[in-house]
Amino acid sequence: MKKTVFTILSATLVLVTSATEASLQAGQHGGNERDGNNEPRLNLVADRCVFILATGQSGSTALMDALNQLPHYLIRGEQWAAFWNIYESYLNFKWTTTEPLSQLKFNWTAYQDASLETIKRLYDQEAPREKLPWFNEFPQERIIAAVRSYYAVLYGYYGQSFVSGFKDSRYVCGRSFTTDRCAEFFNGFLPFLRSLCNKVKVLFNSRASPSLAANIKLYDMDRSRSEEDFLKDLNETHALYDSYVAGNPDHAFRVFYEDMFDPLKNATLAMKILNFLDEDPATPIRFNRMPASNTPDS
């Protein structure tokens, strides 16, 4: 079993290495090094990433397609907030490796490069004296490395100058970010997203206004919610987008649906987005390449 897992990991490593070389950055401890008799640590990291977080029915598919007109971009589509689950998994790992008292018995920072023998020795020393239901030796660094590898293997493996990413309309208040704790989850998830790759930029896409009139198509998708609850969540999502972009203009940018489809504004918007992404602003991209039936309000 162990051998099989090792073989799969090695095969993945070879596959990824031959496909991308330089995009696999050496990690803090020198990359995929061996540690005693341990299996090699995978420490794969995608280089440049762009994530589109959207409120839904706001042109995010057209925005994704505009970016994908750049030859070295591949932004994937909706994935049912899959990275929300990864974020929760990360939080669970983090909690189980720091909070419970029995974890405090071991200073895992001192053992983060320790061999299997060392870890087993710590375990065997303690186990006859005390129950260790929370024994997880992963240091924080390994949890982050695992998350980054997960992203890199799935999304980031076409080379260093390649830009990967995804767009998703579920990272909003009332969906992934529970209504009552929206700001808390949003403010935790964004740093997590930023840790996925070496360089991360985020586009926040919505209608210009969080009003019902501007977002009626979105509301119509799920009428089970009251207008009041819907608008409260949407309003808070807009406010979080706005304040995040105001505070982080280096890696966050706001894109309004109305500007994307306004012939007087769309060329300027395209240039601003390209500038923001450090791409040539003269690159011809357009928001209306996809068939009209696939774009909202068409």
The interface region with ligand NAG, picked from 46-54, 190-198, 262-270, 272-280 by CB under 6 A, is 262-270
As given in the structure block, the two tokens for residue 295 are 């774009």
Compute the distance between CA of residue 249 and CA of residue 111 in angstroms, rounded to an integer: 38
Phi/psi of residue 167, nearest 5 degrees? -120, 145
Which residues within the stretch 118-157 sit at the binding site for ligand NAG (CB under 6 A)?
none
The interface region with ligand NAG, picked from 82-90, 103-111, 158-166, 216-224 by CB under 6 A, is 103-111
Q: What is the DSSP letter of 81?
A: T
Cβ nearer to ligand NAG, comparing 153 with 183: 183
Figure out which of the listed residues 180, 263, 282, 291 binds ligand NAG, where binding follows CB under 6 A.
Answer: 263
Which residue type, as a one-letter code, is found at position 289? R
Compute the distance between CA of residue 150 and CA of residue 227 in angstroms, rounded to an integer: 38
Task: Please report whether residue 109 would count as binding ligand NAG according to CB under 6 A.
Answer: yes
DSSP for 147-216? HHHHHHHHH--S-TT-EEEEEES--SBTTTB-GGGHHHHHHHHHHHHHTSEEEEEEEEEE-SS-STTTTH
What is the tally of helices (H) and strands (E) in the chain?
A: 11, 5
Quote the least distance from Cβ 79 to ligand NAG, whole Å: 25
Cβ nearer to ligand NAG, comparing 115 with 198: 115
Figure out which of the listed residues 76, 94, 194, 232 binds ligand NAG, where binding follows CB under 6 A.
Answer: 232
Figure out which of the listed residues 91, 183, 267, 290 binds ligand NAG, where binding follows CB under 6 A.
Answer: 267
Phi/psi of residue 51, nearest 5 degrees? -115, 135
Task: Please report whether residue 107 would count as binding ligand NAG according to CB under 6 A.
Answer: yes
Quote the least distance from Cβ 155 to ligand NAG, whole Å: 26
- Chain CA centroid to CA 251, Å: 13
Cβ atoms within 10 A of the Cβ of 261, count? Answer: 18
Handedness of CA 129, 132, 138, 140 (dihedral sign): negative
Task: Please report whether residue 186 would count as binding ligand NAG according to CB under 6 A.
Answer: no
The interface region with ligand NAG, picked from 24-32, 49-57, 170-178, 264-272 by CB under 6 A, is 264-272
The interface region with ligand NAG, picked from 25-33, 133-141, 166-174, 261-269 by CB under 6 A, is 261-269
Cβ nearer to ligand NAG, comparing 37 with 109: 109
Quote the least distance from Cβ 163 to ligand NAG, whole Å: 19
Cβ nearer to ligand NAG, comparing 72 with 105: 105
Provide the binding-site residues for ligand NAG, judged by CB under 6 A: 107, 109-110, 231-232, 235, 239, 263, 266-267, 270, 286-288
